[in-house]
A and B are shown apart, each in its own frame.
Chain A
Amino acid sequence: SQQGEEDPQALSIQEGENATMNCSYKTSINNLQWYRQNSGRGLVHLILIRSNEREKHSGRLRVTLDTSKKSSSLLITASRAADTASYFCATLTNAGGTSYGKLTFGQGTILTVHP
């Protein structure tokens, strides 16, 4: 089963508005990452937040992580038409105490930003 589940499945907003996407997961994680995918293309890494961090910023992106609720949110401020894409959260769980592990993706949120 999928570790990460995004909400909403689809989001439609006007340019200039903020977009908030949420991600919930089930098991303990090492870190949580957000990726963006333009239609049919490869995913692009946006931001990574470690399990001991609560908030992280990168340009117009703000990510929060609440490990007690096993949830994260991605906020895109002042959205642009070019932000139209699918956004995925992915959780990393380490394998056997190593620094490597398995990355599990959610089903994604489709964001449409209208000009």
Chain B
Amino acid sequence: EAQVTQNPRYLITVTGKKLTVTCSQNMNHEYMSWYRQDPGLGLRQIYYSMNVEVTDKGDVPEGYKVSRKEKRNFPLILESPSPNQTSLYFCASSFTTGNEFFGPGTRLTVL
């Protein structure tokens, strides 16, 4: 089954404790991206990657890191999480930036 998976689905952590949210797709898509969704602000793109080893900043990259060492994986790294990073995070992938397939979301709470 074609899908984008994210782990964990739910995470509660404390300020400053490094965390990684994994994202994996099985559709051989070149393009992958991360979004955060907040009430009243819609979805905002954090980072995107056009292919292996090619990443670029989206609208709200501060406080986040990504890597694209393999085509199928695109982890999101929060080196020192803060409460304002409490949000619902989505990973997505596509062959081009149309028909993006979204993961189920990761709900992150930073205390």
- Interface residues, chain B, CB within 8 Å of chain A? 4, 30-31, 33, 35, 40-45, 48, 50, 56, 58-59, 88, 90, 92, 96-105, 107
Is there contact, CB below 8 Å, between B90 and A43? yes
- Closest A residue to B59 by CB, please name it: A104
The dominant DSSP class at the A interface is strand
- In the complex, chain B residues whose CB is within 8 Å of the CB of A95: 50, 56
Identify which of residues 73-115 in chain A touch chain B, using a CB-to-CB cut-off of 8 Å. Answer: 88, 90, 92, 95, 98-108
Q: A88 to B40: give the CA distance in the assembly, Å.
A: 13
Q: A103 to B50: give the CA distance in the assembly, Å.
A: 12
- Interface residues, chain A, CB within 8 Å of chain B? 2, 31, 33, 35, 40-45, 48, 88, 90, 92, 95, 98-108
- Closest A residue to B96 by CB, please name it: A99
Q: A95 to B104: give the CA distance in the assembly, Å.
A: 27
